[in-house]
């Protein structure tokens, strides 16, 4: 049954991604019925950010667990990033592509595009890489390895949700910030740099190697900048510094806080 479903998806990659984008939108609508902390509901931007991060957390738990399962059950995915794939890994990339399309649309349609241009740049790079993968059926394994970063996104989103409710002084936040640091190095940095090494090492024969290498270099620069911000905010910021004021910068509310 799985193979039959994936065969249908392979025949219509674009519409399949849009379908999963709509399903994620439906999940977002359902999440709006859940109780929200009072401090979050009192501010429109904070409420939107809470809703957006909550859906991102759902995506991260789903795809991060799925990606880890794939590389454990089928270790060949870690070796042949270009050609090796199976129906389970293809479905994972298709579902994740739908999320990134939905999230980009949510950011734009909600009016937060200017304050979250970094996320839109990242999403744009991911979407084109994943769509290329879905249409050509190459680099599926590479996309699975890339989705290992979602393991870190789980702790990253939990950390940001705690910041939204002003819980930076809690013991929960204290534990999360250290777990987040570990997963950032173990899953986000390691996965990105392994992908970069693979492209450089096999550059001479890879399909569109220059485009993928350029995309990876941009994303590598971005995650190093985010890593610096993370360290600055959680480990090198003086305690007397005031709690984040909803991400104001140059008069624009930023989606991505430290």
pLDDT value at residue 1: 76
In a domain, 145, yes or no: yes
In a domain, 215, yes or no: yes
pLDDT value at residue 238: 60
pLDDT value at residue 42: 87
pLDDT value at residue 237: 66
Instruction: Say whether pTM exceeds 0.75.
Output: yes
Q: State yes or no: pLDDT of 5 exceeds 90.
A: no
Residues 179-195 have a mean pLDDT of: 97
Count up the domains in the chain and report the number. Answer: 1
In a domain, 221, yes or no: yes
CA–CA distance, 10 with 257 (Å, rounded to integer): 37
pLDDT band for position 256 (50/70/90)?
very low
99 closest CA partner among 145, 142, 64, 56 = 56
Range of the domain at 149: 2-237+245-253
Listed in sequence order, the residues at least 6 apart from 135 whose beta carbon sits closer than 8 Å to its beta carbon are 13
Given a contact cutoff of 8 angstroms between Cβ atoms, the answer to whether 129 and 143 are in contact is: yes
pLDDT value at residue 258: 66
Pseudo-torsion of CA 119, 52, 109, 140, nearest 10°? 50
pLDDT value at residue 246: 44
pLDDT value at residue 248: 44
Residues 155-159 have a mean pLDDT of: 97
Residues 227-252 have a mean pLDDT of: 64
In a domain, 211, yes or no: yes
In a domain, 190, yes or no: yes
In a domain, 258, yes or no: no
CA–CA distance, 177 with 223 (Å, rounded to integer): 17
Out of 7-11, 162-166, 236-240, which region has the weakest mean confidence (pLDDT)? 236-240
DSSP string for residues in 106-128: HHHHTT-TTTTHHHHHHHHHHHH
104 closest CA partner among 112, 46, 254, 161 = 112
pLDDT band for position 247 (50/70/90)?
very low
DSSP 8-class letter at 167: -
Q: Which helix (H) or strand (E) holds 252?
A: strand 252-253
pLDDT value at residue 250: 41
pLDDT value at residue 255: 41
Average pLDDT of the residues of the chain: 91
Pseudo-torsion of CA 193, 138, 124, 223, nearest 10°? -10
In a domain, 11, yes or no: yes
Q: How far apart, in Å, do the first and last CA atoms of the chain sit?
A: 44
Out of 1-10, 81-90, 171-180, 233-242, which region has the weakest mean confidence (pLDDT)? 233-242
Given a contact cutoff of 8 angstroms between Cβ atoms, the answer to whether 235 and 184 are in contact is: no
pLDDT tens digits, one per residue of 14-28: 999 999 999 999 999
């Amino acid at each position: 049954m799985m193979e039959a479903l994936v065969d249908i998806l392979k025949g219509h990659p674009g519409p399949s991604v849009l379908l999963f984008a709509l399903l994620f939108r439906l999940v977002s609508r359902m999440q709006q019925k859940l109780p929200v902390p009072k401090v979050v509901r009192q501010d429109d931007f904070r409420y939107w950010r809470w809703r957006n991060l909550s859906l991102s957390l759902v995506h991260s738990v789903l795809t991060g667990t799925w990606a880890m399962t794939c590389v454990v059950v089928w270790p060949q995915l870690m070796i042949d990033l270009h050609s090796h794939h199976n129906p389970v890994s293809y479905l994972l990339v298709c579902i994740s592509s739908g999320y990134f399309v939905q999230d980009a649309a949510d950011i734009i349609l909600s009016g937060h595009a200017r304050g979250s241009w970094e996320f839109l740049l990242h999403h744009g790079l991911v979407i084109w890489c994943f769509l290329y993968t879905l249409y050509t059926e190459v680099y599926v394994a590479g996309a699975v390895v890339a989705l290992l970063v979602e393991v870190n996104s789980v702790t990253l989103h939990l950390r940001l949700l705690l910041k939204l409710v002003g819980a930076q002084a809690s013991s929960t936040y204290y534990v999360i910030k250290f777990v987040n640091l570990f997963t950032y190095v173990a899953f986000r940095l390691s996965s990105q740099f392994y992908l970069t090494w693979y492209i450089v090492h096999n550059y001479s024969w890879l399909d569109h190697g220059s485009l993928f290498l350029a995309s990876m270099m941009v994303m590598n620069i971005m995650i190093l900048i985010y890593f610096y911000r993370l360290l600055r905010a959680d480990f090198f910021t003086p305690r007397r510094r005031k709690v984040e004021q909803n991400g104001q910068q140059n008069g624009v509310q930023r989606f991505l806080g430290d």
